Amino acid sequence: MNIKDIMNPQARLVSPETSIHQAAESMREQGIGFLLVGENDRLKGTLTDRDIVIRVVAEGRDIRNTRVSDILTDKVLYCREDQDASEVARNMSEQQVRRMPVVSDNKRLVGVISIGDLAQHLSAETAGRVLQGVTAR
């Protein structure tokens, strides 16, 4: 099964110039803890609720004046929409990531895949190994 068959195609980008306050509001409204950062369908990085807590709140930064570009994680791990789900699951486990942007052949953002999405389409044994790998420290 290919990733394009199970990914969430509703991935939206937030601008690097977005304030942390706006990004956090967006996370709250959408019920998510992960945002993709970029412009014109080109990924620049990712932002998690954990990034906000560690890199803004814990450092006492102003959430209204700190921009997403100031704290985003710019090492973007991604997969291609035509990759096999089990291959992506192994990669997510090895890289210890819970979500991954999905790009087309021309590297345009087309969706996002999570371990939850994968777990619904993999065997229980494979899903268990992936979850164990992602959560191992």
Supply the pLDDT for residue 134. Answer: 64
Between strands 42-48 and 109-114, the pairing is unpaired
Give the model's confidence band at 120: pLDDT under 50 very low, under 70 low, under 90 confident, else very high: confident
pLDDT of residue 118: 86
* DSSP string covering the chain: -BGGGTSBTT--EE-TTSBHHHHHHHHHHHT-SEEEEEETTEEEEEEEHHHHIIIIITTT--TTT-BHHHH-B-----EETTSBHHHHHHHHHHHT-SEEEEE-TT--EEEEEEHHHHHTTS-HHHHHHHHHHHH--
Instruction: Please state, for a pLDDT cut of 90, what percent of the chain lies above it.
Output: 56
- Predicted confidence at residue 82, as pLDDT, reads 95
Q: Which domains does the chain have, with CATH numbers?
A: 3-135 (3.10.580.10)
Maximum pairwise Cα distance, the chain: 46
Residue among 125, 120, 93 at smallest CA distance from 6: 120
> Quick one: average pLDDT of 13-35?
94
Query: At 136, is the pLDDT very low, low, confident or very high (cuts 50, 70, 90)?
Result: low
pLDDT band per the 50, 70, 90 thresholds, residue 132: low
pLDDT of res. 79 = 96
Interval 62-98: pLDDT, tens = 999 999 999 999 888 999 999 999 899 889 888 888 8
Asked if 11 and 96 touch (Cβ cutoff 8 Å), the reply is: no
pTM to 2 decimal places: 0.81
